[in-house]
Structure 1
Amino acid sequence: MARRIPKVSVVMPCYNAAGTVVRAVESIITQSFTDWELIVIDDGSQDDSANLVEAISKKLPEKIRLIRRPHLGVVGASNYGYSLAQAPLIARMDADDVSLPMRLEKQWCALQESPEIDIISCLVNFAGSHESAGGYAHHVDWANRQITKDQIRLSRFIDLPTPHPTLMFRKELLVNGPAYADGDFPEDYECFLRWIDRGAQVAKVPEVLFDWHDPSTRLSRNDARYDMEAFHRCKAPYLTKAIQQSGCGDRDLWIWGAGRPARKLAKTLERNWKKASGFVDVDPRKIGNYLQGRPVVAVDHLPKAENAVIVCYVASRGAGDVVRGQLLDLGRVEGIDFWIAA
């Protein structure tokens, strides 16, 4: 007998998560929204993960499917799980996190009420250690401030504003191919940028519906695909295209940040697009100098808005907000005249 098609397919890749996977699965079982299926892709775990899930699935065979596969990595496991999803909506779930009881209900309702939205996220509670993972906690605080559709769209070149395991999305997004590409870049961030580039609309339920954990085994802690340089290589072609689509591709490129770290990050954009005409900085020791024949100027000596597009690569905490404020005060428009990219 064929399975009845549920309203939501929850896809959970799992690899060596015996210490957390039961908690993750139970957080789906206890959802207020009950019309779901859970697809757990065990990616060749060497611990007891698959056996633990199997024991639960035997009690709910009509709701939970366990698929055992040789280890191929998170990209292969996730794409395969999505290919098995029967529902028109797919919710991502990680084996070390927790969906709070109202997550599926709130996200499903949001997508029913707003058919123009393709992807819905939510606010998250950082469930890791603020002492040992302060940077991650700061990222969660930042992501939780990116709430409106415009905030999400404009902040996408800073970092991923929607924690990936919080996403629920329409299955139609997979018509043009698998969600994730395999390469030397963060697969979740590249997927997010690609979907927006293709016109996907993203929103958030402005409520905390997810506990985001930070285990020592998390890929973003240990894999070179998730380091700073990989993020900037990933975003550069999409940032270039976004600038060109905004109608500013013929303008001169100016980089905000004349220090070595900002210049290093900016090289990824220059390789994808064009060489910067100059740099902007607030440090009086840098202003008035030249870097490889290009001037370093103060913000009030920038070319007119119609002649320049500015990309900020100053990555120090809070710098982007300061730069945004200064440029907005000058009448420049974010997403057209300037972009924050760090």
Structure 2
Amino acid sequence: MPKFDIIIPAYNAAGYLPEAIESVMAQTFEDWRILLIDDGSTDDTAGVVAPYIEKLGPKLKYIQQPNGGLPAARNTAIRNASAELLALLDADDVWLPNRLAESLKCFEGRPEVGLAHGFVSRIDTNGAIIDTFATRQKHHEGRIAPYIYMRTVDMCCPTITFRKKCVDEVGPFDETLRATEDRDLWLRIALRYEVALAPTVMAYYRTSLNSMSGDPTRMLNAQLQFIQKHYGSPGCGWLARRIALARIYKQQAEAFAIRRQYRDGLASALRSLALYPLDFRNVRTAGSLLLRRTGLAR
């Protein structure tokens, strides 16, 4: 069996998929297999995948299923996985050649580690780099479950690797969550295992305002479901819940601001400030949106 099974869910991403697959083929660590789950695509995903199936043979397993959403597609891959380590790559993201090699270092000789992540650069729909997140922060590694809950640490999916035995223990992705299902699984793993950080940029994460994460209301509802689900878990008590709520309302405020919906943004920012006024970032967001709402700033 391979060392890594690579989980690639694909839904109408034929335009980006070749770049994702070829970024796996360019890995310096070569003991891998791709589990590509076609989640009911209506574009030419099958045609795009066909030459790679011929070229890669047993190193690529292509599974077609009716559309069930991202968590369901990833769970299909997990059910078909046999490798010790599972690595995530969405069809519109891209790995750098060091991705698997750097991730493997996080697990070697460290049985206490259940999940690892690294740094990313964000790219736009055309592949241009928007920004890079490559700064080691206080709660990026170790026993960090409460910080995952409070959203004071972010882990980007194309850098995530976890032991298969972890999902055997805590369960797979929660298919009732139509967003934030990734953070939900990271938290459940982190409640039992340490999280490791590979302190290097290892992937390009593609972002778009048309994505689920770009819809402030839908994302907020999913985040509220997550917060309620894990309230009362170790380290996820009353104060942690208020901090988590403050952060998601701040995030919603910023999303509204991008759309120039300053009235809605200010309402969300003030709610964030009321929930946790000790974080100066909540004060700053509310102040910025107040100035924009009154026309004193652009």
**Alignment match, 1:103:** 99
**Alignment match, 1:191:** 185
Q: 130, 152, 155: which is aligned to 2:147?
A: 155
| CA distance in 1: counterparts of 2:24 and 2:12, whole angstroms | 19
Instruction: Specify every segment of 5 or more residues in structure 1 that has no aligned partner in the other structure, as ranges.
Output: 268-278, 283-311, 320-342
Change (3 A) 1:33 1:234: same
Change (3 A) 1:263 1:176: farther
SS at match of 1:220: helix
Q: 214, 222, 232: which is aligned to 2:207?
A: 214
| CA distance in 1: counterparts of 2:146 and 2:113, whole angstroms | 16
**Alignment match, 1:233:** 225
Indicate the percent of aligned positions where both proteins have the same amino acid.
Answer: 27
| CA distance in 2: counterparts of 1:65 and 1:232, whole angstroms | 36
Residues 46-61 of structure 1 aligned to structure 2 (within 5 Å): 46-61=42-57
**Alignment match, 2:168:** 175
Change (3 A) 1:318 1:121: farther
Larger helix fraction of residues: 2
Deviations 1:46-69 (A, max 9, x none): 111122112211111121111111
**Alignment match, 1:122:** 118
Number of residue pairs matched by the alignment: 261
Residues 1-342 of structure 1 aligned to structure 2 (within 5 Å): 5-128=1-124, 141=133, 145=137, 148-149=140-141, 153=145, 155-156=147-148, 157-158=150-151, 161-176=154-169, 178-184=171-177, 185-197=179-191, 199-222=192-215, 225=218, 227-243=219-235, 261=268, 264=271, 281=277, 315=282
| CA distance in 1: counterparts of 2:44 and 2:242, whole angstroms | 53
Q: Which amino acid aligns with 2:161?
A: M
* C-alpha displacement of 1:222: 4.3
TM-score by length of 1: 0.65
Change (3 A) 1:316 1:89: farther
Deviations 1:295-325 (A, max 9, x none): xxxxxxxxxxxxxxxxx69745689xxxxxx
SS at match of 1:191: helix
CA contact 1:146–1:152 (8 Å) conserved in 2: no
CA contact 1:181–1:187 (8 Å) conserved in 2: yes
Deviations 1:1-20 (A, max 9, x none): xxxx0111001000000110
* C-alpha displacement of 1:244: 6.7
| CA distance in 2: counterparts of 1:52 and 1:194, whole angstroms | 35
| CA distance in 2: counterparts of 1:78 and 1:34, whole angstroms | 22
| CA distance in 2: counterparts of 1:183 and 1:45, whole angstroms | 21
CA contact 1:96–1:215 (8 Å) conserved in 2: no
Q: Which amino acid aligns with 1:75?
A: P
**Alignment match, 2:263:** none
Structure number with larger C-alpha Rg:
1
Instruction: Specify every segment of 5 or more residues in structure 2 that has no aligned partner in the other structure, as ranges.
Output: 247-265, 287-298
**Alignment match, 1:308:** none
* C-alpha displacement of 1:179: 1.8
CA contact 1:39–1:64 (8 Å) conserved in 2: yes
TM-score by length of 2: 0.74
* C-alpha displacement of 1:219: 2.7
* C-alpha displacement of 1:21: 0.3
Deviations 1:101-139 (A, max 9, x none): 01001111221142211101011011128xxx98xx6xx
CA contact 2:114–2:190 (8 Å) conserved in 1: no
* C-alpha displacement of 1:204: 1.1
CA contact 1:8–1:36 (8 Å) conserved in 2: yes
SS at match of 1:60: helix
Q: Which amino acid aligns with 2:189?
A: W
| CA distance in 1: counterparts of 2:40 and 2:58, whole angstroms | 23
Q: Which amino acid aligns with 2:165?
A: E
| CA distance in 1: counterparts of 2:206 and 2:162, whole angstroms | 22
Q: Which amino acid aligns with 1:191?
A: L
* C-alpha displacement of 1:168: 0.7
SS at match of 2:199: strand
Q: How large is the Cα RMSD of the aligned pairs?
A: 3.6
Greater RCO between the two (CA within 8 Å, min separation 6)?
Answer: 2
SS at match of 1:78: helix
Change (3 A) 1:196 1:51: same
